[in-house]
Amino acid sequence: MSPTALFVLLGHAAATAYMTGLIWFVHVVHYPLFAGVGTEGYVSYQADHMRLTGYVVGPPMVVEMLGALWLAFELPTGLPKWMPVLGAALVLGVWASTAFLSVPAHNGLLHGFDADVHRALCRTNLVRTVLWTLRTLLVGAMIWHLVPKVSG
């Protein structure tokens, strides 16, 4: 495997693992705590949450997407084509889920806490949590699949 392919794969894996850990934290801790913020400061809290979250998730999501696409189109030697293609499809699923489920729910909470919208946000976030978990397993399998080829 070329040094470029190894660099892309490892950077991609790091971004994916980071986002998987973060989404589990968000799913188990952060989103459920929205209900305890209170009505007085909730609008400000939600706006700050959305603004600040972009700094934490934007760069690794872009690195992950670019890595997934690079791997799918510039297949590293020794890696079955289905692995990076599936990985790219899962990334697209994460982005679609974010755009069509999570962002609208967050926008719905910008006007104040709504228990129904909050429940929908927590429920639909499970889609991203599962997709990122599957991505981490897949990227780990890609690395495992290539390790003998790198060392030998």
Domain containing 11: what range? 3-151
Count structural domains, the chain.
1
Global pTM reads 0.91
pLDDT for the residue numbered 78: 85
Residue type, 34: F
The CATH number covering residue 77 comes to: 1.20.1420
Residue type, 12: H
- Could you list the pLDDT tens digit for every one of the 152 residues in the chain? 788 888 999 999 999 999 999 999 999 999 999 999 998 999 999 999 999 999 999 999 999 999 999 999 998 888 999 999 999 999 999 999 999 999 999 999 999 999 999 999 999 999 999 999 999 999 999 999 887 765 55
Long-range contacts at 96-103 (CB < 8 A, ≥ 24 apart): 97/124, 97/127, 97/128, 97/131, 98/128, 101/125, 101/127, 102/128
Residue type, 45: Y
